[in-house]
């Protein structure tokens, strides 16, 4: 098992191993409603890239510290360069528009890649949303594999209210997650708030629980279930589903042929069949 101290050097995230094979990543800036600034998204990307290659980890649960918010999105005061302003201390410097655009593009790309780390992570990621889940919270959630929430969760895609189109993933992923362009354009252009039941109805989340505590407990149970299955099977399933999104059925089938030509050679298959026949719970080695 990975010792918790191996992930102890992050300023704004708590990373623990509450059960064998299950990592819990907690956004930890509750005094600021877990709002993000550059150090935080750098840490976020680093954590998920590291967990992806940690053979002792088979599933990840993501949550936010405190009762008020999963995350309220960006810390605007600390991210003015991301919302059309200049960096602090640069108020008098002349700006070449092309160079500013180039720098902003690079900044946005780095932010996108950090938040996409949960999607490219080999391991399944379960996000537990609660309280205020605004702006960047939707970007983060859409890049995770399974989303559940507390019944009191308040969602919104708030970027248009600060004069922006959401640019860290929501506009690319949300239409694929919920399947209704009408609803997506409604919430992304109006920036209106919506609740847990609406999120469940459109498919943004797969389950709603009475409280954050209940939602987190459910996520941990699900994480333990996933960690007990063949990591070859679970991680292959994530990779194949992600590949198939946005591609034709035939492309997905062809890719699966090549993938499973290798994956089917695993000993996990005969081990699982033997255990099933013997009415035993199978165990699987690290991947």
Task: Identify the pLDDT of residue 272.
Answer: 87
The answer on pLDDT for 226 being more than 60 is: yes
pLDDT-derived band at 33 (thresholds 50, 70, 90) equals: very high
Q: What percent of the chain has pLDDT over 70?
A: 93
And the tokens for 84? 């059309």
> Can you read off the two tokens belonging to residue 101?
């655009």
Q: β-strand 125-129 against 59-64: which pairing, if any?
A: parallel
Report which of 50, 69, 56 is spatially closest to residue 128, judged by C-alpha positions. 69
In angstroms, the CA 62 to CA 216 distance is: 9
pLDDT band at 78 (very low <50, low <70, confident <90, very high): confident
Q: Which CATH architecture has domain 4-227?
A: Alpha-Beta Complex (3.90)
Q: What's the chain's average pLDDT?
A: 93
Confidence of residue 211 (pLDDT cuts 50, 70, 90): very high
pLDDT of residue 199: 98
Residue 4 has pLDDT above 70, yes or no: no
pLDDT tens-digit readout, 79-132: 765 555 454 455 556 678 998 899 889 999 999 999 999 999 999 999 999 999
Gap between the Cα atoms of 194 and 24, Å rounded: 27
Number of Cβ within a 10 Å radius of residue 65: 18
Backbone angles phi, psi at 131, to 5 degrees: 55, -140
Average pLDDT over residues 222-251: 97
Q: Give me the pLDDT at residue 83, please.
A: 52
Quote the CA–CA distance of 48 and 113 in Å, as a whole number. Answer: 11
Residue range 144-159, pLDDT digits in tens: 999 999 999 999 999 9
| Nearest-10 Cα torsion for 41, 42, 48, 52 | 150
CATH class of 231-277: mainly alpha
**83-87, 202-206, 243-247, 248-252: segment of lowest average pLDDT:** 83-87
pLDDT for 37 beyond 90: yes
End-to-end CA distance of the chain: 13
The helix/strand/coil state of 37 is: coil
Predicted confidence at residue 87, as pLDDT, reads 47
Measured CA to CA, the distance from residue 204 to residue 200 in angstroms comes to: 6
CA-to-CA dists, residue 191 to 70, 71, 72, 183, 253, angstroms: 18, 16, 13, 12, 38
Q: Which residues contact 2 (CB under 8 A, 6 or more apart)?
A: 17, 23, 54, 56, 57
Report the distance separating Cα 18 and Cα 168, nearest Å. Answer: 30
Average pLDDT over residues 6-30: 95
Length reported for the chain: 287
Which has the higher per-residue pLDDT, 78 or 29? 29
**How many whole angstroms separate alpha carbon 115 and alpha carbon 101?**
21
Strand pairing category for 194-195 and 146-150 = unpaired
Check pLDDT > 80 for residue 264. yes
pLDDT at 171: 97
HSE of 226 in the Cβ direction (CA atoms, 13 Å)? 24
pTM (predicted TM-score): 0.92
| Three-state secondary structure call for residue 27 | strand
Domain layout of the chain by residue ranges = 4-227, 231-277
The stretch 223-236 carries a mean pLDDT of 97
Residue 5: its pLDDT value, please?
75
Question: Of the candidates 230, 74, 261, which has an alpha carbon nearest to the alpha carbon of residue 159?
Answer: 74
């Amino acid at each position: 098992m990975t010792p918790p101290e191996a992930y102890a050097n992050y300023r704004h995230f708590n990373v623990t191993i509450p059960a064998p094979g299950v990592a819990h990543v907690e956004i930890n800036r509750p005094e600021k409603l877990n709002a993000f600034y550059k150090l935080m998204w750098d840490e976020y990307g680093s954590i998920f890239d590291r967990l992806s290659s940690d053979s002792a980890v088979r599933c990840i649960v993501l949550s936010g510290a405190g009762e008020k918010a999963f995350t309220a999105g960006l810390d605007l005061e600390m991210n003015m360069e991301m919302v059309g302003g200049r960096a602090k201390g640069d108020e008098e410097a002349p700006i070449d528009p092309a160079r500013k655009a180039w720098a902003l593009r690079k900044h946005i790309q780095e932010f996108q890649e950090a938040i996409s780390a949960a999607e490219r992570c080999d391991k399944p990621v379960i996000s537990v949303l609660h309280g205020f889940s605004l702006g960047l919270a939707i970007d983060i959630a859409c890049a995770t594999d399974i989303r559940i929430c507390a019944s009191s969760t308040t969602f919104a895609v708030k970027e248009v209210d600060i004069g922006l189109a959401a640019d860290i993933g929501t506009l690319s992923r949300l239409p694929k997650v919920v399947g209704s362009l009408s609803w997506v354009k409604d919430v992304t252009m109006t920036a209106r708030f919506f609740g847990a039941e609406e999120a469940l109805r459109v498919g943004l989340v797969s389950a709603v629980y009475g409280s954050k505590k209940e939602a987190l407990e459910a996520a941990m149970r699900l994480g333990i279930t996933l960690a007990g299955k063949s990591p070859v099977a679970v991680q292959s399933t994530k990779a194949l589903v992600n590949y198939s999104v946005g591609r034709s059925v035939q492309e997905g089938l062809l890719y699966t042929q090549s993938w499973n030509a290798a994956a089917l050679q695993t000993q996990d298959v005969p081990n699982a069949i033997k255990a099933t026949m013997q009415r035993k719970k199978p165990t699987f080695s690290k991947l």
